[in-house]
Structure 1
């Protein structure tokens, strides 16, 4: 409720600004145009003054209770109670409700978002004219002008104006029939628009805010054909913005046999054989190895159409760095992770897997020659035994005269006496990344990243005991070495690549 001072200030500005209500509203933020004009008339009728009147004094407690009860018994609409009883103003009624029934007044919904369905329902109520536009606007919590704006956006500028209720009695039967036909056409148009939007979301799997006119011609044709049993073809084509000749062409194209039918089945088999780990490039490499001639773009499109999406990456959180607990050896690798022969350059690191049953730590040594995981150990604790046992297993694969460079980050495991003693015993030259510089061991990070994307992320590990998880992780590493193809190796796995060079049986 505005005080006497607020009203006087608004009226004085109204006069000063040459009777421009918008200038007053822009500066003060209140009132509406109608209230401003009423205040000005009250100002003139009271000798250039506005009396300080307490609105509560005009109504007895009984009348206040009648108005509040009517509000709750008739849909909690301030405007409806005002029209039915003839009193009080909506602002005053709201104050009475808060006074007599605190916390029960319905919050105005005009600030919440309205979806397309809400707007269409409101416009349908408007064009059927079973109730006034103002009552509809009050019921849903918007202004009357907003309601008509929705109508213009949904039905277009050419939508016919509706006749106010109080003027219908003067209309002839022909005018009423014309008005009925126009309203029915509006309703049909709204229902068609809704059907197109729902089909775009449900049938084609698009987002809620997608514009049907932005679909491809093929998608438009699929949508149109799904709605043809209940709507006319001409109306559907106009709604989605598709020419009739384009529709005819797409129908003929879709009627042809799928030339990629066999390829689609093979791509699905390859994708599922990899447990959903292969993207389109690796699938294309497998096809090329099988002698299938097809472009990467075709493979990518077929996988997208079949909703075959490879795993997505997550976040790496574990760090084994515990400070500078001993002297660090020199960084001999300097981010050059290329090796011309096996067992010349090896990388190692530890990563953590957190599942509901607990945490599992994996320590792995990777050969830079072909990316093979030479040795891996797992444990529920990132202790010295985890890395020392791994190093012992990796050293067993070395032959006489092989003394690789062993590169790692600055984790504490690689600075403990047990690790240093083993490196000296096996003739491994130690190399270490610079402090806080993860790119210095990025190839090892890439291995763990691929492992987690393809094996760990996106899966529900509830109910998996630690032992079963470790077993599955070991199976993945075996699959990685034996079957997982690498594009840089010509579409071969590390084991296949070594056999192709005669380096393994």
Structure 2
């Protein structure tokens, strides 16, 4: 007796009179109908998904299992293995834990940080599994809104050197394979600081935030909130920052070319506090990438998507203070390790592990 081909019609029933080409065409049409209904292409899915598709094709065409498995290019044993498990929630165990970790991050964590949080709690689940559960549960971390803005109005005075850019050039001149345009790294806390001003559009008015961020690990050292984007919040945050630095630190503070950083009050404050000034090139926001990145994260995780109607300055200040404390003490941040690989730790926890003052 000859073995039957993949597309040979069944011996009896309404499909018995079809040719192999007609059987194949029937399956292709069924797949197209499945795709229109939100299904998946057979070549791009897992064995479990092929089994789910196969069951839908069998119901739609009435074809025998032999034809369906051959068409989907899946062995019968694999098909039967997954068919026995259809209807079960394979992620029933980690599902509530993933949601709990996501909500503990206040909706700000993507799947990598949710996975890191689960590992901290002793939960064994792969990143792929966490990502799948988050997708199925609709757990989506906050994302940035695109907005273009430029406040550049020309050069009012001599611009200080762009020290991170000079450091990068010096490393390349020494023969190092350093490809970044700027060296914004810091070997120790208090070595390199960045600061800038960002705007929050509130309920009919605006708020302006000026933080000072340590490039060693991204810790916000000090911050000031104001109704006006002038020198007051910038000077205030820089004046408070040395209290969070190691004793004897003489940092470099890198800024953009905005007016507050060209003002006499800023220059005098830097001189009195023994802070070296550094400044980005004109209209190059990427030169101050750590500050811009910090603002993006802050707005995604704290500000965007919330209703701020009726929130006054002091209430908003409390929200900002609470976020800054959580960013330092509770938020899992990705750190590249010297020997390769990466880890997820809080800024405070990492400093304690390294024996650094917090």
Alignment TM-score, normalising by the size of structure 1: 0.53
Distance 1:462 1:421, change over 3 A: closer
Match of 2:138 in 1: 307
Q: Is the 8 A contact 1:322 1:412 kept in 2?
A: no
Q: Deviations over 1:414-441 (max 9, x none)?
A: 0011111111111111111122222221
Q: Deviations over 1:259-304 (max 9, x none)?
A: x433222221111111221112212222333344443333323322
Match of 1:413 in 2: 260
In the alignment, the residues of structure 2 paired with residue 396 and residue 280 of structure 1 have an alpha-carbon distance, to the nearest angstrom, of 36
Q: Deviations over 1:419-469 (max 9, x none)?
A: 111111111111111222222211221111222222233x14252424344
In the alignment, the residues of structure 1 paired with residue 255 and residue 32 of structure 2 have an alpha-carbon distance, to the nearest angstrom, of 60
Match of 2:104 in 1: 273
User: Residue 360 of structure 1 aligns to a residue in which SS?
Assistant: strand
Q: Is the 8 A contact 1:280 1:296 kept in 2?
A: yes
User: Does 2:288 match 1:461?
Assistant: no
1:180-219 map, 5 Å: 200-201=37-38, 218-219=48-49
Match of 1:473 in 2: 320
Task: Please identify, of 439-448 and 366-375, the stretch whose mean Cα deviation from structure 2 is larger.
Answer: 439-448
In the alignment, the residues of structure 2 paired with residue 451 and residue 250 of structure 1 have an alpha-carbon distance, to the nearest angstrom, of 44
Structure 2: state its 5+ residue gaps.
Answer: 1-20, 23-28, 166-181, 337-342
Match of 2:214 in 1: 367
Q: 2:93 aligns with which of 241, 246, 262?
A: 262
Distance 1:460 1:227, change over 3 A: farther
Q: 1:376 aligns with which of 223, 232, 244?
A: 223
1:4-83 map, 5 Å: none
Match of 2:16 in 1: none
Distance 1:236 1:268, change over 3 A: farther
Shift of 1:320: 4.5
Q: 2:82 aligns with which of 250, 254, 260?
A: 250
User: Does 2:166 match 1:346?
Assistant: no
Q: Is the 8 A contact 1:346 1:405 kept in 2?
A: yes
Structure 1: state its 5+ residue gaps.
Answer: 1-156, 159-189
In the alignment, the residues of structure 1 paired with residue 222 and residue 290 of structure 2 have an alpha-carbon distance, to the nearest angstrom, of 16
User: Residue 270 of structure 2 aligns to a residue in which SS?
Assistant: helix
User: Residue 377 of structure 1 aligns to a residue in which SS?
Assistant: strand
Distance 1:299 1:403, change over 3 A: same
Query: Looking at both structures, which has the greater relative contact order when contacts are Cα pairs under 8 Å and sequence separation is at least 6?
Result: 2
Shift of 1:354: 1.8
Q: Is the 8 A contact 2:152 2:282 kept in 1?
A: no
Task: Please identify, of 244-253 and 326-335, the stretch whose mean Cα deviation from structure 2 is larger.
Answer: 244-253
In the alignment, the residues of structure 2 paired with residue 227 and residue 249 of structure 1 have an alpha-carbon distance, to the nearest angstrom, of 18
Shift of 1:340: 1.5
In the alignment, the residues of structure 1 paired with residue 34 and residue 64 of structure 2 have an alpha-carbon distance, to the nearest angstrom, of 8
Match of 2:295 in 1: 448
In the alignment, the residues of structure 1 paired with residue 32 and residue 272 of structure 2 have an alpha-carbon distance, to the nearest angstrom, of 76
In the alignment, the residues of structure 2 paired with residue 497 and residue 217 of structure 1 have an alpha-carbon distance, to the nearest angstrom, of 42
Q: Is the 8 A contact 1:358 1:466 kept in 2?
A: no
Match of 2:10 in 1: none
Distance 1:471 1:223, change over 3 A: farther
Match of 2:202 in 1: 355
Alignment TM-score, normalising by the size of structure 2: 0.72
Q: Deviations over 1:29-61 (max 9, x none)?
A: xxxxxxxxxxxxxxxxxxxxxxxxxxxxxxxxx
In the alignment, the residues of structure 2 paired with residue 442 and residue 197 of structure 1 have an alpha-carbon distance, to the nearest angstrom, of 43
Q: Is the 8 A contact 2:246 2:357 kept in 1?
A: no
User: Does 2:114 match 1:283?
Assistant: yes
RMSD: 3.5
Shift of 1:350: 1.0
Q: Is the 8 A contact 1:320 1:413 kept in 2?
A: no
User: Residue 402 of structure 1 aligns to a residue in which SS?
Assistant: coil
User: Residue 407 of structure 1 aligns to a residue in which SS?
Assistant: strand
Distance 1:217 1:293, change over 3 A: closer
Shift of 1:319: 4.1
Q: Higher strand fraction: Structure 1 or Structure 2?
A: 2
In the alignment, the residues of structure 2 paired with residue 367 and residue 236 of structure 1 have an alpha-carbon distance, to the nearest angstrom, of 66
What is the aligned length? Answer: 305
Q: Is the 8 A contact 1:360 1:466 kept in 2?
A: no
